[in-house]
Amino acid sequence: MTAMRQGRTRRTTWVSALCALVVAGTGLTGCSSEDPDAGTNGVGKLPADKIQATTRTAAESAQAVRLAGTVVAGGSTYKLDMRLKSDGGTGSVSAQGATFQLLRVGEELFLMADAEFWHDGHDDGDTAAADKLDGKYVKVPKGDPSYKRFSGFTDKDVLFDSLLTLHGTLATDGRHEESGVRTIRITGDKGAGGTLDVSLEGKPYPLRLVRAGGAGTLTFSDWGKDFPLEQPAKDKTVDYGQQLPTS
């Protein structure tokens, strides 16, 4: 049990004991329970639609965030672990048995994967070329179809626009806890349209999202924590010009 949980438990026990003492001394028949919003940021008192709007504003204004989990889209399941900020992002993406690293600095996007990733789809005559890409950052040209698809994983605004939306009628679903932080949960269509846990401590950042229709689960952490974002060294970079090698 964390220190924070122990503190809340001791506080609750103390309040209950005090309540019993007051009741015994006055002959009263009851005592009000502890305010669930005491010491919180207050968003738990808002209706669900206001909570969603408030947490989205907080997320969009944050300098940086780490996003991890799974996203199901277009019939594929993507496993993400990305650190994002307004001018780019970096991290890993896994899909269809392959894992690769993505790095975007401004409008320049780079992809790094092992030799096996680049071997896929090549005949034996191209294996030597694929081996040379092992562990290298390959620059993804803006005209290549892969650019739009991959850059979306590194774009904080794009991801929030597509992810931080619940579907159907919104409602609150009680207080919960995510990684030791108290949350208020909001749901769409009683959970069928997704659920979102919003922090009740500090800024009302979203902390956990379960997407509608089994389309993945994501956690959000390291809100506002900056991280370095630099272009890879030239000796670690391969630029094929206007088109990526086929893979």
Number of domains in the chain: 1
Q: Does a structural domain hold residue 229?
A: yes
Q: How many residues does the chain have?
A: 247
Q: What is the CATH number of the domain that holds 68?
A: 2.50.20.20
pLDDT in tens, 205-216: 999 999 999 999
Q: Does a structural domain hold residue 246?
A: no
pLDDT in tens, 173-196: 999 999 999 999 999 999 999 999
- Name the burial class of residue 84, with classes exposed (0-12), middle (13-18) and buried (19+) by CB atoms within 10 angstroms of its CB: buried
User: Residue 143's pLDDT band (boundaries 50, 70, 90)?
Assistant: confident
Please enumerate in sequence order all residues whose Cβ is within 8 A of that of 237, keeping only pairs 6 or more positions apart, or say none.
110, 136, 137, 138, 139, 231
Q: Does a structural domain hold residue 154?
A: yes
The Cβ of residue 6 has, within 10 Å, a number of other Cβ atoms equal to 10
What residue type is assigned to position 161 of the chain?
D
Q: Does a structural domain hold residue 4?
A: no
The answer to which of 28-42, 148-162, 164-178, 225-239 has the lowest mean pLDDT is 28-42
Q: Does a structural domain hold residue 27?
A: no
* Cα–Cα dist 71/134, whole Å: 26
Q: Does a structural domain hold residue 38?
A: no
**pTM for the whole structure:** 0.79
Q: Provide the b/e sequence for 95-112 (b: ≥16 CB within 10 Å).
A: eeeeebbbbbbeebbbbb
* Cα–Cα dist 216/70, whole Å: 5
DSSP string, 154-174: G-HHHHHHHHS---SSEEEEE
The DSSP bridge pattern shows strands 137-140 and 237-239 to be: parallel
Q: Does a structural domain hold residue 86?
A: yes
Question: What is the extent of the structural domain holding 113?
Answer: 43-239
Q: At what angle do helices 48-61 and 156-163 cross, to 10 degrees?
A: 170
Q: Does a structural domain hold residue 131?
A: yes
* H/E segment holding residue 49: helix 48-61
Phi, psi dihedral angles at 244 (to 5 degrees): -75, 155
- Name the burial class of residue 192, with classes exposed (0-12), middle (13-18) and buried (19+) by CB atoms within 10 angstroms of its CB: middle
Question: What proportion of the chain, given as a percentage, has pLDDT over 70?
Answer: 79
